[in-house]
Amino acid sequence: MRDLDGILVVSLEQAVAAPLATSRLADAGARVIKVERPEGDFARGYDHLVHGESAYFVWINRGKESICLDLRQPEDLALLKRMVAQADIFVQNLAPGAAARLGVGADAMTAAHPRLIYVSISGYGENGPYRDQKAYDMLIQGESGLMSVTGTPDGSARVGISVCDIAAGETAYAAMLQSLIARQKTGRGRAIEISLFHTMADWMNVPYLQTRYGEKAPPRLGMRHPTIAPYGAFRCKDGREILLSVQNDREWAAFAQKVLGDASLASDARYARNVARVAHMAEIEAMIAKVVKRYDREEAVALLSEAGIACGRLSTTGDLAAHPQAWHVEVQTPSGPVEMMGRGARFSDASFGGGRVPALGEHSAALRAEFHSRRGRA
């Protein structure tokens, strides 16, 4: 038996955040019914790079059943309501207010089905002056202040993946698991509101607190760190880059002696303490660059590792594909098997869903027949 066997999830979902959350439930054994528009989740068309499938869609839609519903049609809307009446969890990421206008909003559904866990995912939440603003990932990266701490002194940069969507999806997943546990104790469900903006604002608490109470907004420093030195990337003899970090004064003493070849730097007032090193960051980086460029990257990794200094490689996505530490899972798609990176969580019993990615509307006929006249759970 898998962890969430017997849990039925109905998800009126598209894009990234909601599908990511429900894919985690599917991996754990929940039955997830993905409700798509007749034209399909638009994430199916983000690209066609995975045997003709979208990379994002393949990643976060495994293990689901797909049904196409046109909620402008009364019979399809009635079918959705019958499905929700059977569900343990209903997830929707329509524009704020849209679900309520269809008669499947949180108030109506939780009143009709007290055990239902109802999850709304939106850009800015169900209330507030930004409620109706479109909220794509890049926009939330900007509005939340994330871009103010991402980039170089010359300008801000977008985080290269849809980090706000992904964060909101993982937050929703955690909230749903918490609510399932709470329902076991109380017998009642609840409504949960998740927004991309508030999720990322929570993640921004450290720079927020530094700015509000320390009156010091962290600058954009590229790969440097605002309060730790040395910390960053350095080019090796073979043109590849190595990352290194010295976290404390003890490590600095070892670094000075074993890497820089000058033990006196450990007691030099300009470098002996981390605060002083941050103030003299440029000088230290010049010393490191001079040493590192003598070595190919793997030689530099060996040198730093022998000295007990934290280091890593500035990898490409191609490097990741062949990374010796990576682990992979195989997922079936409508166009054949796909190997992808495994989940961040590994379980001792090797529990992993890895179900098939559905074709558009693949299960429509079967689901219409199943829920044709079903009533809600007792």
Q: What is the token pair recorded at 103?
A: 């008669």
Q: Which residue reads 């994330």 in tokens?
A: 146
Tokens standing for residue 375: 């009533």
Nearest CA to 369 out of 83, 71, 77, 11 is that of: 83
- Residue 90 buriedness (CB in 10 A; 0-12 / 13-18 / 19+): buried
Residue pair 63/355 in contact (Cβ under 8 Å)? The answer is yes
Strands 31-36 and 64-68: parallel
Catalytic site residue 225? yes
Query: Residue holding tokens 């990266």?
Result: 141
Burial class of 3 by CB neighbour count within 10 A (0 to 12, 13 to 18, 19+): middle
Angle between helix axes 17-27 and 163-186 (nearest 10 degrees) is 50
The torsion defined by the Cα of 47, 334, 14 and 12, in degrees rounded to 10, comes to 170
Phi-psi region of 24 (alpha: psi -120 to 50; beta: other; left: phi over 0): alpha
272 vs 256: CA distance, rounded Å: 10
Q: How far apart are CA 357 and CA 360, in angstroms?
A: 10
Please tell me the distance from the alpha carbon of residue 209 to that of residue 66, in angstroms, as a whole number. Answer: 44
- Asked whether 57 and 43 are in contact (CB, 8 A), the reply is yes
Kindly write down the DSSP assignment for every residue of 66-126, as one continuous string. Answer: EEE--TTSHHHHHHHHHHHHH-SEEEE-SSTTHHHHHT-SHHHHHHH-TT-EEEEEESS-S
Question: Which one of the listed residues 225, 280, 323, 372 is annotated catalytic?
Answer: 225
Q: Which residues are catalytic?
A: 225
